[in-house]
Amino acid sequence: MIDFFEFCNKISPLDNIASVELSSILKLNSVKKNEPIVTRSPHAREFYFIKKGIVKLCFNGDGTEFTMRFFEAHTLLCDIESCTKNEHSKYRIVAIEDTEFFSFSFFEFEKLCLTHHSLETFYRRFMTMANLNMMERISEILEENATKRYNNFIKKKPHLLQRISLGELSNYLGITQVSLSRIRALK
């Protein structure tokens, strides 16, 4: 739990009472490799803080899986669209490795934000960071070719190359495994 609060405090310091009340809604969970944390059909109603392992946020488009992002230890994620619109999730969150994570209710967290300015500030800053990350991801997909996307990935996340499959990497890059093999052969 200490890792979670260190993560929060790096984004925006939490006061002691807010930390205590937030810790009261945290639940420790675990899933095995390839098990979903969130499937496409139910409403997503929780935040997830990855304590150990890696998960991917993905969706199926025309029968092809596309990975939006990988989340590793010490990261927080949420299907914010499903939570705020109270709609079925379009995404799945699936463990790539055996994974431990804390979860907490989106709605319980929003209630805490109403009474704790430090949590509200954390939430605003976290959502700003998440928005910037998603805009960067969309820009990369729209503006960069596959080779540039691969080079960006190995520059930013070289440690993940040994932990994710080539199929998962090609889904993330939006290319086939054959194309990925060609790009890797040029290195």
Letter for the amino acid at 165? S
| Helix (H) / strand (E) containing 176 | none
Query: Is-contact 1 102, C-beta < 8 A?
Result: yes
Ramachandran assignment for 131, one of left (phi > 0), alpha (psi -120 to 50 degrees), beta (any other): alpha
**Beta bridge partner(s), residue 67:** 58
Residue 42 confidence (pLDDT)? 64
Torsion of CA 95, 122, 8, 1, to 10 degrees: -70
Residue 33 confidence (pLDDT)? 96
DSSP symbols for 35-93: -EEE-SSSBP-EEEEEEESEEEEEEEETTEEEEEEEEETTEEEE-HHHHHHT-B-S-EE
Tokens of 132: 């910037």
| Pairwise CA distance, residues 186 & 96, whole Å | 27
Burial profile 109-142: b = 16 or more Cβ within 10 angstroms, e = fewer: beebbeebebbbbbbeebeeeeeeeeeeeeeeee
Domain 2-123 -> CATH class: mainly beta
Residue 41 confidence (pLDDT)? 53
Residue 70 confidence (pLDDT)? 95
pTM, entire model: 0.89
- pLDDT 10s digit of each residue in the chain, 187 long? 779 999 999 999 999 999 999 999 999 999 999 999 865 556 678 899 999 999 999 888 777 888 999 999 999 998 877 777 777 778 889 999 999 999 999 999 999 999 999 999 999 999 999 999 999 999 999 999 999 999 999 999 999 999 999 999 999 999 999 999 999 988 6
